Amino acid sequence: MTTADDAVDGGAEPGAPVWAVFGDLMAGLLGAFVLILVATLALQLDLATRLDDAVKQRQAEAQRRTALEQALAIPLAVLLKEGRVTLDNGRIGISSSLLFAFNSDQLEPEGRQLLQGLAQTLAPYLAARNEMLMVSGFTDDRGVRGGSRSFADNWELSAQRALTVTRALIDAGVPRSAVFAAAFGAEQPVAPNSSADGRALNRRVEITPTPRPVVNAVNAASAPAGR
């Protein structure tokens, strides 16, 4: 026969594991909360680090542009005033009319003299920094017409002009390893091509100091030797 005490004891036994389950649940929730908190703090730290790096990079870019503009202010003073050379955000823009005859990639005497003067300033500037020059050629949107040499299109004309300026800078003292050429043709105009003045502004060569690419030591060591 079951007594009253047995009934009480029998009813209490099934409830005992509930507290253990509840404790395990709370411990799990606490652990998950801690993990989420740690992950959030790590994300915030990473974002703060990236933001700090971005700010430092912008400051370095501003200092680089300021140093370049100060170095070129006197050599280019007259041409900057005449508008035949521009200096904007570290980019040296030179009107094609100052460098080349119409539809030509051969340097005019005045253009060669200008590049020689630039090289005398840019060579020591690059030597003091881990930078190199990108020489970019641009044209207006009108197709190549006539001239003493035949070019397939504006891309080829801009490429040949960029190469000519690159070689002139090298001849004037800029190290070969510190300069390279790029061609943009009629892309990236700085003015509308709807007027003669706008097209004249778009026919240009730009010289831009840029940071040297970072070379991975492992990849450099494993890369095949060039010919």
Per-block average pLDDT, block size 10, for the chain (227 residues)?
A: 52 59 74 82 80 71 74 75 82 93 92 91 87 95 70 93 97 95 95 94 94 65 53
Amino acid residing at 80: L
CA distances, 51 to each of 26, 38, 62, 105 (Å): 37, 20, 17, 45
What integer pLDDT is reported at residue 111 of this predicted model?
93
CA distances, 6 to each of 2, 9, 10, 13, 156 (Å): 6, 5, 6, 11, 102
What integer pLDDT is reported at residue 22 of this predicted model?
67
**pTM, 2 dp:** 0.68
What integer pLDDT is reported at residue 14 of this predicted model?
55
Can you tell me the distance from the alpha carbon of 137 to that of 183, in angstroms, rounded to the nearest whole number?
Answer: 5
What integer pLDDT is reported at residue 168 of this predicted model?
97
**Which of 168, 107, 86 lies closest to 135 in space, CA to CA?**
168
